[in-house]
């Protein structure tokens, strides 16, 4: 999967899956712009720190990446925020955070990136959705809803921009061993190490996913090896479709 000569923007670049994406895309030869709130120690060709809840920042990310890298061929909308609990326990702040990071920001970034990609002859966008956007998950109503929205946005944009040579797809992981998963266990009073071990027993492949398991699929979808895949929601779940 050769990305030599390509330019890429990755959001959520400092997170568990984000770090693995940046490593793989860079290793495949792309020049990479990374975006997150804090990105200490992350090697990349451009650093674009900021808060995706700021509409001006999200609107300007694609253009800033294109300016610093000399073009924009690939966008990975990977940042996500998880809010937990059933609807009756959900606050207005949870609503704004979930919708803002996981739906509005990818929408703003895609809206700005698509014309840039079209003027460059095409491109690839990969959104990190979730199995929990394809089917319900317990006690995470808002999170599931935002990932369902992102999945639908992906399918619709995949249809609408294919004729311009822009392939738009999403990867849909189930549980992945990252700070997001571990913080959830800790919040519920479980020992994260033990909980991740126990989780592995529920996965048909016999282990929990690591960030690299997801990043490899994102690299594939971003590359020309996936040249006929467009508007797809690709589940990466070790054989475990529901929680």
- Residues annotated catalytic, as ranges: 143
Cα–Cα distance list, 12 to 30, 59, 105, 160 (Å): 17, 16, 11, 26
145 binds ligand NAD (CB under 6 A): no
Instruction: Decide: is 128 part of the binding site for ligand NAD (CB under 6 A).
Output: yes
137 binds ligand NAD (CB under 6 A): no
In order of 155, 165, 220, the CA distances from 229 in angstroms are 11, 11, 10
Select the residue interacting with ligand NAD from 2, 5, 29, 37 (CB under 6 A). 37
b/e string for 93-117 if b means 16 or more Cβ within 10 A? ebeebbbbbbbbbbbbbbebbbebb
Interaction of residue 51 with ligand NAD, rule CB under 6 A = yes
> In this structure, are residues 47 and 34 in contact, taking their beta carbons and an 8 Å threshold?
yes
Contact positions with ligand NAD (CB under 6 A) in 151-210: 173, 175-176, 178-181
Residue selected from 24, 44, 76, 78 as contacting ligand NAD according to rule CB under 6 A: 78
Q: Which is nearer to ligand NAD, 110 or 181 (CB)?
A: 181
Residue count, binding to ligand NAD (CB under 6 A): 25
Per the CB < 8 A criterion, the answer to whether 74 and 117 are in contact is: no
- Site residues for ligand NAD per CB under 6 A: 12, 14-18, 36-37, 51-53, 78-81, 101, 128, 130, 173, 175-176, 178-181
């Amino acid at each position: 999967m050769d990305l030599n000569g390509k330019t890429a923007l990755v959001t959520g670049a400092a997170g568990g899956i984000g770090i693995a994406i940046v490593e793989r895309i860079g290793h495949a030869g792309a020049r990479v712009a990374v975006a997150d709130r804090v990105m200490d120690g992350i090697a990349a060709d451009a650093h674009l720190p900021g808060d995706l809840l700021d509409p001006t920042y999200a609107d300007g990310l694609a253009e800033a990446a294109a300016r610093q890298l000399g073009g924009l061929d690939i966008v990975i909308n990977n940042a996500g925020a998880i809010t937990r609990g059933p609807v009756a326990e959900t606050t207005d702040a949870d609503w704004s955070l979930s919708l803002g990071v996981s739906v509005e920001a990818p929408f703003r970034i895609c809206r700005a990136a698509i014309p840039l990609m079209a003027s460059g002859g095409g491109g690839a966008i990969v959104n990190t959705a979730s199995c929990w956007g394809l089917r319900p998950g317990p006690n995470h109503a808002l999170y599931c809803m935002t990932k369902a929205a992102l999945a639908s946005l992906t399918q619709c944009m995949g249809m609408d921009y294919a004729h311009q040579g822009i392939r738009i797809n999403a990867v849909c992981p189930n549980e992945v061993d990252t700070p997001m998963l571990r913080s959830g266990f800790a919040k519920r009073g479980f020992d994260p190490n033990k909980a991740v071990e126990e989780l592995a027993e529920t996965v048909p492949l016999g282990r929990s996913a690591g960030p690299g398991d997801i990043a490899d699929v994102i690299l594939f979808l971003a590359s020309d090896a996936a040249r006929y895949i467009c508007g797809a929601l690709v589940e990466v779940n070790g054989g475990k479709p529901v929680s």
